[in-house]
């Protein structure tokens, strides 16, 4: 009996190991398939995305048309203030509208106002679109924004293929036409530009944090706008190019907390010494 159990035991152990091995093989195969699916893009999307061009200039001398049909150059919109650049197309059925909606919502939450602290340029990358579409978009978003100064500070432009290609290439914005759907495949982001027309920050997506947008505008302006509190926030937060967001700079936060603690202790010592001075003077008079 014992000999039979001994003969069966190796077979059961082998069978258990075989099942474990098969399970591991299946898990590894599934993991490989998931990784492969994540890395492989459809051919159309191979050339779609955003390549960061931080501190690189955009072409300010290329011509576009404004919402009234006039020929304009980008340099006309740089007057010593930072500029928010959004690249969209006006007949986009979904993503571009969501981006402009998100941008407008964030702008409404800011104390800064377009036309005072910054300007906005929205450019269509569809060369088939013209000033009439740009004018309709402007009327819509100026009405939603509800700040009169923005009427002369938010510019909706269209252009020829050469001008569009020069701007999108300099901004690192890659897109592709999908003939099967009659739409453009493109990413979603806004780009902050310095008063000199250089790329300062990218904010990805369609929902933009008002705090991040405020800090980005202050940095793009070379600290010419904002308050002392904003400067403190910029010291404690840093921009992460990979995520397009601001995060806590831990070491700077520790240094700031240490400096505040030292100042607090010094202030307390000063107050105590000032309070003790009159008492010591009274004791000296009583002794006389």
Sorted by where each begins, the domain ranges of the chain are: 2-40, 49-225
pLDDT of amino acid 38: 47
Burial 208-238 (b: 16+ CB within 10 A, else e): beeebbbbbbbbbbeeebbeeebeebbebbe
Residue carrying structure tokens 């202050």: 218
CATH 3.30.530.20 correct for 49-225: no
Spatial separation of the C-alpha atoms in residues 64 and 136, rounded to whole Å: 17
Nearest to 98 by CA among 192, 207, 200, 197: 207
pLDDT of amino acid 187: 92
User: Per mean pLDDT, which range of 30-44, 233-247, 268-282 is the poorest?
Assistant: 30-44
Q: pLDDT band at 27, cuts 50/70/90?
A: low
Tokens read off for 180: 């099967």
pLDDT of amino acid 224: 72
Instruction: Please report how many Cα atoms fall inside a 13 Å half-sphere around the Cα of residue 62, on the Cβ side.
Output: 20
Give the chain's mean pLDDT. Answer: 79
> Mean per-residue pLDDT for 54-63?
96
> Mean per-residue pLDDT for 17-29?
56
- Judged by DSSP in three states, 54 sits in coil
> Mean per-residue pLDDT for 137-151?
95
Task: Return the higher-pLDDT residue of 285 and 179.
Answer: 179
Q: pLDDT band at 231, cuts 50/70/90?
A: low
Burial 85-119 (b: 16+ CB within 10 A, else e): bbbbbbbbeebbbebbebbbebbeebebbbbebbb
pLDDT of amino acid 252: 41
Convert the pLDDT of each residue in 64-123 to its tens digit. 999 999 999 999 999 999 999 999 999 999 999 999 999 999 999 999 999 999 999 999
Residue 200 clears pLDDT 60, i.e. is over it: yes
Task: Return the higher-pLDDT residue of 6 and 79.
Answer: 79
- Judged by DSSP in three states, 176 sits in strand
pLDDT of amino acid 240: 72
Task: Return the higher-pLDDT residue of 179 and 112.
Answer: 112
* Portion of the chain with pLDDT greater than 70, in percent: 63
Q: pLDDT band at 228, cuts 50/70/90?
A: low
Sign of CA dihedral 173, 174, 177, 183: negative
> Mean per-residue pLDDT for 163-187?
94
Q: pLDDT band at 34, cuts 50/70/90?
A: very low
Task: Return the higher-pLDDT residue of 116 and 29.
Answer: 116
Tokens read off for 167: 């701007």
pLDDT of amino acid 254: 38
pLDDT of amino acid 10: 59
Task: Return the higher-pLDDT residue of 281 and 133.
Answer: 133
Residue 136 clears pLDDT 60, i.e. is over it: yes
pLDDT of amino acid 263: 46
């Amino acid at each position: 009996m014992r000999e039979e159990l001994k003969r069966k035991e190796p077979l059961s152990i082998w069978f258990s190991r075989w099942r474990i091995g098969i399970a591991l093989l299946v898990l590894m195969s599934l993991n490989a398939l998931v990784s492969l699916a994540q890395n492989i893009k459809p051919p159309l999307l191979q050339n779609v995305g955003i390549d960061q061009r931080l501190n690189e200039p955009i072409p300010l001398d290329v011509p576009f048309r404004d919402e009234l049909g006039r020929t304009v150059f980008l340099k006309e919109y740089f007057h010593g203030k930072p500029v928010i650049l959004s690249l969209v197309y006006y007949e986009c059925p979904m993503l571009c509208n969501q981006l402009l909606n998100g941008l407008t919502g964030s702008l409404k939450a800011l104390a800064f106002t377009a036309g005072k602290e910054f300007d906005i340029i929205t450019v269509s990358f569809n060369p088939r679109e013209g000033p009439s579409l740009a004018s309709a978009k402007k009327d819509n978003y100026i009405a939603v924004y509800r700040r009169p100064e923005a009427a002369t500070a938010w510019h909706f432009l269209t252009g020829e293929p050469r001008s569009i290609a020069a701007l999108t290439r300099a901004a690192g914005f890659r897109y592709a036409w999908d003939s099967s759907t009659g739409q453009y495949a493109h990413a979603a982001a806004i780009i902050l530009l310095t008063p000199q027309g250089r790329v300062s920050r990218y904010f990805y997506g369609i929902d933009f944090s008002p705090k991040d947008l405020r800090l980005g505008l202050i940095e793009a302006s070379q600290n010419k706008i904002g308050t002392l509190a904003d400067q403190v926030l910029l010291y404690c937060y840093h921009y992460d190019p990979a995520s397009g967001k601001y995060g806590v700079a831990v070491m700077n936060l520790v240094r700031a907390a240490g400096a505040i603690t030292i100042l607090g202790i010094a202030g307390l010592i000063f107050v105590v010494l000032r309070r003790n001075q009159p008492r010591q003077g009274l004791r000296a008079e009583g002794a006389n």
